């Protein structure tokens, strides 16, 4: 019990430090410097940043308002009985004026659009970070699988040579030689598949991240997540990009409803004008004001805006629920992945030992060739399963780190 309590304290301290400063980039992943450069050059991130820049211009438009100065001019010819004809003219300027706090609401709407744009940049960076992590691990796993098959191919070729030598010496049958040749053909087929899988994994990484290059190395050992699920949920929800987008959209919908409510009182148009009349003997200077009368359309627009607020609120709830489900699944996969890797490692070790003992027994003539090859295949399958389990366990552990913005400087969006 004391050891468990101490472990919990250590995990809490590690978690607190990680939450504040991030964690060291795992050696299975590219460095923060490289990853940030690759992520920020991805088209999805560039698109989100361009949209944010556009939102900034849109906010400036909203702040300036929809009204502009309008100039008007008119001229007329008047006939005054007994006096004669006179030419009269009038010129003026007018402009709409936002009243009822509409200018402030427009500025807030622009700020909400910018907030949404920033949230989408962060969401795009995390989605691209996920893709980078997955493709990077896929390529490393493909390298490992290829190396394993090359090792197996070397053994099978040596085994065939040994069987052929024994046959010529009269210690092996033609059936044994045929079985060994068949086994070599099967391993060559699997090695070819491994080569193709490696080529595809490399192509996918290079096409998505052209500057990425990988120096193959052994995977590190997966470890259990240092925090309980509740702490991961709290951390991830606090910075989840889709949730921030949904929250910003709800705020914008609420502001839009307030703006529509304020618009029930129409904005006046105010102008000044001057005119010249009566044979240029009269100069008129005046002010004009025009106010539209509100109608059914304004009320209907308000009702529409209020319903859109409810739509945005429901979308926020749906998004939060979806993220919480995703967190639970990821945490479960991370914990289960480590356990499955440990089981697979024990199985691989047992299969490796069984293959060693069977090889010895075959050398002593205690088992036949078919038994040896069967055990070797089982060992190969167990080793491949252990490698795949290791890659998957690391994948889900790193997914937690990425979603929690603890690596690759993802918290600084």
162-220 per-position pLDDT tens digit: 888 888 887 778 888 888 899 899 999 999 999 999 999 999 999 999 998 877 778 89
Q: Alpha-carbon distance 305 to 252, whole Å?
A: 11
Task: Return mean pLDDT, the chain.
Answer: 88
pTM for the complete prediction?
0.85
Residue 228 in tokens: 């309980």
Q: Alpha-carbon distance 394 to 218, whole Å?
A: 12
Q: Which candidate, 361, 360, 354, places its Cα nearest to that of 376?
A: 354
pLDDT, position 256: 95
- DSSP at 31: -
Residues 70 and 147: beta-carbon distance below 8 Å: no
| Backbone angles phi and psi of 67, in degrees to 5 | -100, 145
How many helices and strands, by DSSP H and E, does the chain display? 9, 4
Residues 337 and 395: beta-carbon distance below 8 Å: yes
Give residue-wise pLDDT tens across range 363-376. Answer: 888 888 888 889 99
Q: Where are any strands of DSSP class E within 67-110?
A: 70-80, 84-96
Q: Which candidate, 353, 351, 360, places its Cα nearest to that of 381?
A: 351
pLDDT, position 8: 40
Residue 108 in tokens: 């807030």
Residues 97 and 270: beta-carbon distance below 8 Å: yes
The residues with which 95 forms a beta bridge, in sequence order, are: 270
Q: Alpha-carbon distance 403 to 396, whole Å?
A: 10
pLDDT, position 83: 67
Residues 233 and 321: beta-carbon distance below 8 Å: no
Q: Alpha-carbon distance 341 to 334, whole Å?
A: 11
Give residue-wise pLDDT tens across range 319-361. Answer: 999 999 999 999 999 999 999 999 999 999 999 999 989 988 8
pLDDT, position 221: 92
Q: Predicted confidence band at 278 (pLDDT cuts at 50, 70, 90)?
A: low
Residues 60 and 230: beta-carbon distance below 8 Å: no
Q: Alpha-carbon distance 124 to 44, whole Å?
A: 6
In total, the chain counts a number of residues equal to 413
Q: Alpha-carbon distance 181 to 151, whole Å?
A: 17
- DSSP at 292: P
b/e code 3-23 from CB counts within 10 Å (16+ = b): eeeeeeeebeeebeebbeebe
Residue recorded with tokens 């025009």: 290
Domain regions of the chain by residue span = 24-403
- DSSP at 360: H
Residue 3 in tokens: 């050891």
* Local structure of 90: helix, strand or coil: strand
CATH 1.20.1600.10 is right for the domain spanning 24-403: yes
Q: What mean pLDDT comes out for the span 75-99? A: 81
């Amino acid at each position: 019990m004391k050891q468990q309590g101490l472990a919990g304290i250590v995990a809490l301290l590690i978690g607190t430090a990680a939450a504040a400063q991030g964690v060291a980039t795992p050696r299975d992943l590219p460095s923060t410097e490289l990853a940030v450069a690759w992520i920020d050059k991805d088209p999805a991130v560039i698109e989100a940043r361009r949209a944010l820049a556009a939102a900034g211009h849109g906010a400036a438009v909203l702040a300036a308002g929809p009204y502009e100065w309008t100039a008007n001019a008119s001229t007329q010819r008047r006939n005054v009985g007994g006096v004669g004809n006179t030419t009269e003219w009038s010129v003026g300027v007018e402009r709409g004026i936002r009243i009822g706090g509409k200018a402030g609401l427009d500025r807030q709407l622009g700020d909400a659009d910018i907030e949404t744009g920033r949230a989408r940049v962060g969401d795009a960076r995390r989605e691209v970070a996920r893709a980078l992590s997955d493709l990077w691990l896929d390529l490393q796993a493909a390298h490992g699988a290829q190396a394993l098959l090359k090792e197996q191919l070397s053994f099978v070729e040596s085994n065939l040579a040994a069987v052929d030598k024994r046959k010529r010496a009269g210690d092996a049958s033609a059936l044994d030689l045929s079985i060994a040749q068949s086994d070599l053909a099967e391993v060559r087929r699997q090695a070819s598949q491994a080569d193709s899988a490696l080529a595809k994994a490399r192509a996918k990484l290079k096409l998505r991240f052209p500057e990425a290059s990988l120096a193959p190395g052994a995977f590190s050992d997966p470890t259990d997540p240092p925090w309980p699920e509740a702490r991961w949920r709290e951390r991830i929800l606090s910075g989840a990009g889709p949730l921030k987008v949904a929250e910003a959209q709800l705020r914008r919908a609420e502001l839009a409803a307030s703006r529509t409510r304020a618009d029930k009182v129409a904005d006046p148009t105010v102008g000044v004008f001057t005119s010249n009349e009566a044979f240029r003997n009269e100069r008129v200077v005046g002010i004009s004001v025009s106010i539209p009368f509100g109608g059914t359309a304004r009320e209907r627009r308000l009702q529409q805006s209020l319903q859109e607020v409810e739509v945005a609120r429901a979308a926020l709830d749906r998004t939060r629920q979806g993220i919480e489900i995703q967190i639970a699944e990821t945490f479960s996969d991370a914990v289960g992945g480590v356990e499955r890797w440990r089981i697979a490692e024990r199985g691989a070790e047992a299969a490796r030992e069984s293959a060693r003992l069977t090889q010895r027994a075959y050398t002593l003539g205690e088992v036949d060739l078919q038994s040896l090859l069967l055990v070797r295949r089982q060992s190969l399958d167990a080793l491949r399963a252990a490698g795949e389990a290791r890659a998957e366990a690391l994948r889900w552990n790193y997914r937690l780190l990425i979603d929690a913005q603890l690596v690759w400087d993802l918290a600084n969006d």
